[in-house]
Amino acid sequence: MPKYDYDLITIGAGSGGVRASRLSGGYGARVAVVEEDRVGGTCVLRGCIPKKLLIYGAHYAEHLEDAINYGWSVEDATHDWAKLIDNKNTELDRLNGIYLRILRDNNVDILDGRGVLTDPHTVQVGDKSYTAENILVAVGGWPSTPDIPGIEHVISSNEALELRELPKRMVIVGGGYIAVEFAGIFAALGVEVTEVVRADTVLRGFDEDIRVALDDELKKRGINLMSDTVIRSIEKTSDGYTLRCAGNEMIETDLVMYATGRAPNTKGLGLEEAGVTLADNGSIPVDEWNRSSVPHIYAVGDVTDRIQLTPVAIQEGRAVAETLYNDNPIKTDYENVPSAVFSTPPIGTVGLTEDQAREKYGEVDVYISRFKPLVHTLSGRDERTLMKLVVDTKSQRVAGAHMMGMDAPEIIQGVAIALKCGATKAQFDATIGIHPSAAEEFVTMRDKRPEKAE
């Protein structure tokens, strides 16, 4: 008789939890995954996938406008938001089915309900208890909002993905990934969007040239970007909401969305009672093997607050399964993790920003290219692409690659491989470009940007 009901119980069936569970099950471990919602987690149900489908939907607005100078007549084009939401939901149902099938095919039991630790080896689900030798916490995060008067009136990205109709005016608070992505979606579909950012502009932490370039493009699209602005309170009025800013400026709107970061979902899980140390923000600190302060309780993904990206959670989940059940110890490598912001236009980035590279290497060579994409020479759209390489002067290795412009996420994925391999600028230059493409700029930038005079 085995000592425990399972070798591994995973709490949370999101990207990291599902990957760890299905691989472990496939390697012959006895695995259960506990989930109180549908299987899929933030990325599939409330994040990357539905968001990107809405972005595709919204971008047709610009494509239709751009088509006119290519000879198309599109006068009667209209958009049905509710249809887009319904079709998106049908796709999510399909994906949910695929996730369930993958788990079942790998002999993973799915325990419906909320999982709570009652001791370091026992998980309670409803009125049943299950024991496991190892436990993996992969419960992700949830939108977090500041505690200001009227905050109960706001929606988060969760509800924004389910709106039945579009408002006329909308305020989006925040300047991070989610805020700029949703600002792009709603503005493209005709909503008057005001984006309120407490910093000097959007995407703090990204390369400064990229931030400035996106700021320009958001404004060109009619987004009212209010920087250095803090909301103090929100009041419901007879026909919408009034937001009072520090400095007493008022904003009237029909809908308020907050995208001010996400907090780990660890409340009431019994983690501290089981001996797991939590950080001040509720996240689970783990070592390089994803072990919490209790060595057989592991954690992966957003709940650990390392890098909040689905592919990172998936890699961490894989590392746990390989290490525990395939005799193949794996650590996740957090160097040069590429990421994309699906803003309009999108951003792709990998490696260090110029400021980070200067901090690390002292001297850097910077190559920048700004141009009108070929497609817009005919369409007439006033959109610029920005591409930038940051090179460590001494070693000549490319330390960072950044792009804002059409297809940036698709282009940067390949560039990320080069950075992972430690490619030098000379190796970029020795690569033949693909013509005509935007991507070729990354291998044809010859002139260093002159250093600014101090």
Signed CA dihedral, 324, 330, 335, 337: sign only: negative
Q: Is 309 one of the binding residues for ligand NDP (CB under 6 A)?
A: yes
Q: 130 or 342: whose CB is closer to ligand NDP? A: 342
Residue 213, Cβ neighbours under 10 Å: how many? 22
Catalytic residues: 435
| CA 112 – CA 110 distance, rounded (Å) | 6
**Shortest distance, CB of residue 141 to ligand NDP, whole angstroms?**
8
- Minimum distance from CB of 427 to ligand NDP (Å)? 28
* Binding residue (CB under 6 A) for ligand NDP from 11, 173, 185, 320: 173
C-beta of 100 vs 148, nearer to ligand NDP: 148
Nearer to ligand NDP, 142 or 289 (CB): 142
Rg (CA), the chain: 24
Residue selected from 102, 151, 199, 245 as contacting ligand NDP according to rule CB under 6 A: 199
Q: According to the binding rule CB under 6 A, does residue 198 interact with ligand NDP?
A: yes
Stretch that binds ligand NDP, among 24-32, 67-75, 85-93, 178-186 (CB under 6 A): 178-186
Q: Give min distance, CB of 48 to ligand NDP, in A.
A: 6
User: Of how many residues is the chain composed?
Assistant: 454
Please give the biggest Cα pair distance in the chain.
Answer: 75
Q: Which is nearer to ligand NDP, 186 or 342 (CB)?
A: 342
Q: 327 to 366, contacts with ligand NDP by CB under 6 A?
A: 339-342
Residue 130 engages ligand NDP in binding (rule: CB under 6 A): no
Question: Tokens 């994040």, residue?
Answer: 47
Helix H, strand E, coil C: the string for the chain is CCCCCEEEEEECCCHHHHHHHHHHHHCCCCEEEEECCCCCHHHHHHCHHHHHHHHHHHHHHHHHHHHHHHCCCCCCCCCCHHHHHHHHHHHHHHHHHHHHHHHHHCCEEEEECCEEEEECCEEEECCEEEEEEEEEECCCEEECCCCCCCHHHCECHHHHCCCCCCCCEEEEECCCHHHHHHHHHHHHCCCEEEEECCCCCCCCCCCHHHHHHHHHHHHHCCCEEECCCCEEEEEEECCEEEEEECCCCEEEECCEEECCCEEECCCCCCCCCCCCCCCCCCCCCCCCCCECCCCCEEECHHHHCCCCCHHHHHHHHHHHHHHHHCCCCCCCCCCCCCEEECCCCCEEEEECCHHHHHHHHCCEEEEEEEECCCHHHHHCCCCCEEEEEEEECCCCEEEEEEEECCCHHHHHHHHHHHHHCCCEHHHHHCCCCCCCCCHHHHHCCCCCCCCCCC
Q: Which of 22, 262, 306, 425 binds ligand NDP (CB under 6 A)?
A: 262
Q: Which of 260, 292, 336, 344 binds ligand NDP (CB under 6 A)?
A: 260
Please give the backbone phi and psi of residue 148, each rounded to the nearest 5 degrees, phi first. -125, 155
Among 83, 101, 204, 394, binds ligand NDP (CB under 6 A): 204
Candidates 58-66, 74-82, 107-115, 173-181; binding stretch for ligand NDP (CB under 6 A): 173-181
Least distance CB 281 / ligand NDP (angstroms):
12
Please choose, out of 99-107, 112-120, 260-268, 379-387, the segment that lies near ligand NDP by the rule CB under 6 A.
Answer: 260-268
Question: Site for ligand NDP (CB under 6 A): which residue of 17, 175, 270, 405?
Answer: 175
Q: Work out how close the CB of 130 gets to ligand NDP at its nearest, in angstroms, rounded to a whole number.
A: 31
Question: What track of x and - describes contact with ligand NDP for positions 143 through 162 (by CB under 6 A)?
Answer: ---x----------------
Residue number of the CB closest to ligand NDP reads 176
Residue 384 binds ligand NDP (CB under 6 A): no
- Which of 81, 130, 177, 367 contacts ligand NDP by CB under 6 A? 177
Q: How many residues bind ligand NDP (CB under 6 A)?
A: 22
Among 16, 174, 184, 348, binds ligand NDP (CB under 6 A): 174
Smallest separation, CB 220 to ligand NDP (Å): 20
Is 178 one of the binding residues for ligand NDP (CB under 6 A)?
A: yes
Closer by beta carbon to ligand NDP, 34 or else 53: 53
Give min distance, CB of 230 to ligand NDP, in A.
6
Closest CA to 103 of 181, 8, 4: 8
**Which residue number, 25 or 346, has a Cβ lying nearer to ligand NDP?**
346
Q: List Cα–Cα distances, 219 to 184, 193, 224, 325, 366, in angstroms.
A: 11, 10, 6, 52, 26
- Does 308 bind ligand NDP (CB under 6 A)? Our answer is yes
Answer yes or no whether residue 261 interacts with ligand NDP by CB under 6 A: yes
Binding residues (CB under 6 A) for ligand NDP: these are 146, 173-179, 181, 198-199, 204, 259-262, 308-309, 339-342
